[in-house]
Structure 1
């Protein structure tokens, strides 16, 4: 790891099982041993503790369908893309590989028609996969025994008793997110299996650039943002994009800027979506990395109104895993916040 290299990863803002706290910490430590977003993503996505890839929450039909988005900057060139309907145990790697194939097709064929390369695609579309010559991978069972147990227990009861819905969500129900900064460039990505019993075909915030992830760069200042929590609120607010733009203009008081941006955006949009109307503040967690290249300073900031937010990071200063928790009486009413100098 070079002195300038930085890695940040989170396993969701939501409600983590306290009995699995040490397991989450161990998983983050394991992921921080790698540097590339594909490598880090593979460690997190293949583990049943996280809600993406293997072990994801099941939709109404009892199936796993993940969303993913990424942004990669190399040598002044930015590549980005997002996909939904991903039935694979490595959504981040699979999505990046898919768009590499898409790029080839547009450079060699469709680009001649003046068509722009798509930003969001349906990963499961067989015609798309055939056109870009994406090899079929052996079918893998992504349904963990834990997810199947929850599904079987509540599926037949939900239609009769809606109060059981919250009981069906004992663990975190949202995204993973990764930021990797190296001398060769930077990358940011997110993937998620969505919420239990979601409507088949739903696209969550992890599948939309500007919602769960975003990055901006201007005048020797770089800003990266990862968001997690209530996907519909995050999508409606285009939260990661809004936070990045606000931080890029801010001179200091970055923590206040993040919280004020969230609340002002909510006020502007008058959010009243299902699952968020009972809260004074949106049910979200935000993780931001700010690099002042001229001053050679890098700051990591976080805030969340959720029960918990687990993340880890490493830089030349060392490696750390953070398991931030909220006062149960203040969940959805105030933000826990903090920052680290990397």
Structure 2
């Protein structure tokens, strides 16, 4: 037990150091660019590059043993949004989401509407066209993710009844929220999805109002969520909890109420 406790504390220390590095990168980016969107994206890139997290490199593997990532960003200053789902071959999916967000103001001609959400091979092709660095999909698989995949793949074959609870142990989606002195706010979310997900599955990290939310008004508010995507999508949780604290005397009470009535007790989760 003592050895297990020491291992747990060591892992917590690693996560703490990683989160500090992400925050430092985000603050540095904010100083250089004066952009909250750039800040959250660069902070998340640090997290995506680490094998400790379930995002980018080191993401959970699909049932077929591949990496498919979801990511999204939202710029509260103009309410623009960009997202990718089930994308592979890109080390930093959050960067593709950022490009899609910026692309909303581009006139692509002939009355065509610029995309804000791309999935699968379409997202990968678009990323290459934008000059975003792409890598062989197998290079996204970490040693840790491979071990977890093999462990649970064996369990699925031998003990189906017990597998669902165990799969919930690793859903460490990453995210970031940044607000500057002028109230400009942005949020980001990136995830490799749940363990042994079906190929092509898209979780909350890519879906509008579910993984991220950011808006600037009388007050600025942003959110980034983590957990079982199927539940968060059904309740549009990122937007729901963000809007629950606007124009309220007690944000804590409002947030608690929103979580209870619009998530935990929501009829869609019965």
Query: Residue 79 of structure 1 corresponds to which residue in structure 2?
Result: 80
2:244 to 243, 246, 249: 246
RCO comparison, higher one (Cα < 8 Å, 6+): 1
| Residue 27 in structure 1 maps to residue 35 in structure 2 | no
> Residues 170 and 205 of structure 1: is their aligned pair in 2 closer, same or farther, counting only changes over 3 Å?
closer
Unaligned 5+ runs, structure 2: 1-6, 27-38
Q: How many residues align?
A: 248
CA distance in 2, matches of 1:44, 1:27: 7
SS in 2 for 1:51: coil
SS in 1 for 2:269: coil
Query: Residue 325 of structure 1 corresponds to which residue in structure 2?
Result: none
User: Which deviates the most, 191-200 or 207-216?
Assistant: 207-216
**Bigger helix share:** 2
Q: Return the offset for 1:18.
A: 4.9
| Residue 194 in structure 1 maps to residue 199 in structure 2 | no
Answer yes or no: is the 8 Å Cα contact 1:103–1:117 preserved in 2.
yes
Query: Residue 160 of structure 2 corresponds to which residue in structure 1?
Result: 162
Q: Return the offset for 1:99.
A: 4.6
CA distance in 1, matches of 2:212, 2:255: 14
SS in 2 for 1:195: coil
TM-score if structure 1 supplies the norm length? 0.65
1:37 to 29, 36, 40: 40
RMSD between superposed Cα atoms in Å? 2.7
Unaligned 5+ runs, structure 1: 1-15, 273-342
Structure 1 segments of 4+ aligned residues over 4 angstroms from their partners = 16-19, 130-136, 166-171
Q: Return the offset for 1:168.
A: 5.3
Answer yes or no: is the 8 Å Cα contact 1:67–1:203 preserved in 2.
yes
SS in 1 for 2:215: strand
1:172 to 162, 170, 173: 170
**Bigger strand share:** 1
2:71 to 56, 68, 72: 68
